[in-house]
Chains A and B, each alone.
Chain A
Amino acid sequence: MIEFRDVDFSIEGNPILMGVSFRVPRGKTTVILGPSGSGKSTILRLLLGLYQPDRGSIFFDGEDLTRVTAARLREIRSRMGMVFQQGALFDSMTVGENVGYALLEASGDEERDVEGTVRQFIELVGLEAALVDRMPDQLSGGMQRRVAIARALAARDPIVLLYDEPTTGLDPQSGERITDLIVHLRDSMGKTAIMVTHDIADAFKVADSVTVLEKGRVAFDGTSTELAHAQSPFINEFLAPFRKAILAAQRQFQAAPGFPAPPAASSPEGGRA
């Protein structure tokens, strides 16, 4: 479905990505994981054609995006829905106008013609349809992120969803709702997705496969189960806080009176190790 093949990218001579290769199969969710500044978000921008790679190829359904015309790139883009970091909602438009933006752009319809569809997508992401007339700054961070997902979904029924740090800056409950929604969209609608995050717990929750970046290079590419057992020094160091947090949580559970003991030696994605 999507493939990065030996992609190099730099900004003003500073290398951001070096020889990055990975694949995203159709209907699966791949998580790009890595510390801040490792080039994760750049991958989504390259896929959208917002940046051009210095070298290498990016394939979308067999088409090399680095060789297509601008018009063809716009067509391909219309098959992707992007959820930007912090939502990137258009702050001069209402929630309804944001969600219906791509529909109106594509069809040239009047707002009232897409009102029903807009309400449907707002409800799909777990918000009240009555929010359509609110401005984005009147919503909480979590609600803004859900509106951004609704906007991406409404964008001409995309076959690929791209999430750039969808839970960053949210409280744990709001973050949980967003990741639940991402999993729900994958399971119920079969959307292919790439999620960029530095949150290891989110990655294990939603990922079918994980690509870990270290300073612009792929340090790991495999399933989340394989990642949990990977032993390279960087992966060990990167996962150490997460592993410690799991152990601490297990100890707290065991120490708390009245709480049932957690299942022994659970793997991070919930299966048995």
Chain B
Amino acid sequence: MPVMFAIVERFRRVVETVQDYTLFTIETLRCCVGRPFYGREMMHQLHFALIGSLTIVLISAVVAGQALAIQLARELSNSGAKSQLGHFMVISVVRALGPVLTGMVVASRMSAGITAELGAMRSSDQIDALVAFGTDPIRRLVVPRTIALLIALPILTVLSDALAVIGGGFVGMQYHLSWEAYWIGALQFLTPKNVLVGMLKPFFFAILIVTTACWKGFRSEGGAKGVGVATTESVVIASVGILVTDVVCTRVLFRILGW
């Protein structure tokens, strides 16, 4: 019986946690419209998300794009289809690799930063102080970060996609594929539908990254150690969540597009 009780108790806690996160996310999205809106805080967060993440996102895109292009170019050359490199690069990067890679890199940076900051604010009573002064902490702290990342992540994804695909062209030249031939294949598959599949994902990833990070920060307990645990958990949840969301988005979008 104690084992059974422990299982039921564990299940109850999981359900409560999921419910708590879901309600937090719904409340965040509800607060994204209406007043008060903290524009200056949003601009500050946009700078942190966009400019602050730019370097690591671009480096990651160049490196991952090169690695993918080398793999593809070698196999396609062996099968006599190296002219298809641009086509495969666009499909792989724009639809899947670009959004996921950018999401993961931004998640590792933003999740940790947001959870640590909000966790520290919670443990030093700053969040309670906001409430005491009549401020809704979700509107003041979560909404500006959500909107900032909803703007920054798609932009970073476009830049990341562009760099990875351009890098593929240079790899193609090493395998004796002309720059023009590469781009003819690439642009042929840079269709609105492919772009749509790739560009919708960052919006879901942005909401996932910010809500998990803020939720973990708000719920952190136990001082510095608790903030550390919450930070680790938020990065893990956001990273795994991005992969799961990617699969779900891909399946749903493919069904909608009739692919």
Contacts and interface: CB of A to CB of B under 8 A. Distances in A.
Interface stretch (B62-70, B122-130, B232-240, B250-258): B122-130
Interface stretch (A54-62, A85-93, A119-127, A228-236): A85-93
A200 B128 CA distance: 27
A105 B129 CA distance: 13
Contacts of A45: 128
A74 B132 CA distance: 8
B132 A77 contact: yes
A4 interface: no
B123 to A, nearest CB: 10
A91 B116 CA distance: 13
9 contacts: A50-B131, A50-B132, A84-B128, A86-B125, A88-B126, A90-B130, A101-B133, A105-B135, A155-B133
A88 B131 contact: no
Interface of B: 36, 121, 124-126, 128-135
Given A48-B131, A80-B132, A105-B135, 14 more contacts: A50-B128, A77-B131, A77-B134, A78-B134, A84-B132, A88-B124, A88-B128, A88-B129, A90-B126, A90-B130, A102-B133, A102-B134, A106-B134, A155-B133
A2 interface: no
Contact of B132 (A48, A85, A108): A48
A178 interface: no
A77 B136 CA distance: 13
Contacts of B134: 74, 77-78, 102, 105-106
A105 B133 contact: yes
A82 interface: yes
B125 A84 contact: yes
Interface string A127-164: 00000000000000000000000000001000000000
The 3 closest A-B pairs by CB, nearest first: A88-B125, A88-B129, A84-B125
